[in-house]
Amino acid sequence: MSLTKQKGDVAEAYVTYLLKQKGFNVLIPWGEDNRFDLVAEKNGVFKKVQVKYVTSKNGILEVPLRSSNNYKIIHYSPKDIDIIAAYEPGTSKVYFIPLKSVSNRSSYKLRLKAAKNNQKKNVSMASNYEARFDLFER
């Protein structure tokens, strides 16, 4: 098994664990040919989730909004996925990003700390997405 696959499995397992702790039912699709990794359900509301294993670099988490293999790159769309769950193993934090708010990008950057130049425009703070379980209930 490749290291990338192992990391993805760890991230999916951790996100599943957190969702189950919060009372969600978690559905895992059969096979590898789905755009989403899992479906979370609570009170009849279903959300398709793509899970990403991300590590910080220079205070930024770069979350890919696409998948790729040896043949092609597939950009995620809001019709295929509702939420990207970005798992950061160093802190064991998960950031839930609604895909409809970040479409037409290859990646989405979450800043862990304020910019040194105090820039706020076009800056997405990771804290705004941390443990946002409320996104699953609407």
Q: What is the CA radius of gyration of the chain?
A: 15
d(CA 38, CA 49): 5
Whether pLDDT at 70 is above 80 = no
Q: Which residues fall within 8 angstroms of residue 130, CB to CB, at 6 or more apart?
A: 93, 94, 95
Is the sign of the CA dihedral 101, 77, 55, 17 positive or negative? Answer: positive
Concatenating the DSSP letter of every residue in 30-48 gives: SSS--S-SEEEEETTEEEE
Residues 93-119 have pLDDT tens digits of: 999 999 988 866 788 889 888 766 666
pTM: 0.89
Q: Which one has a higher pLDDT value, 51 or 122?
A: 51
Give the class (CATH, top level) of 3-137.
Answer: alpha beta
Residues 16-53 have pLDDT tens digits of: 999 999 999 999 999 777 889 999 999 999 999 999 99
Residues 126-136 have pLDDT tens digits of: 889 999 999 99
* Position 69 confidence tier, pLDDT thresholds 50, 70, 90: low
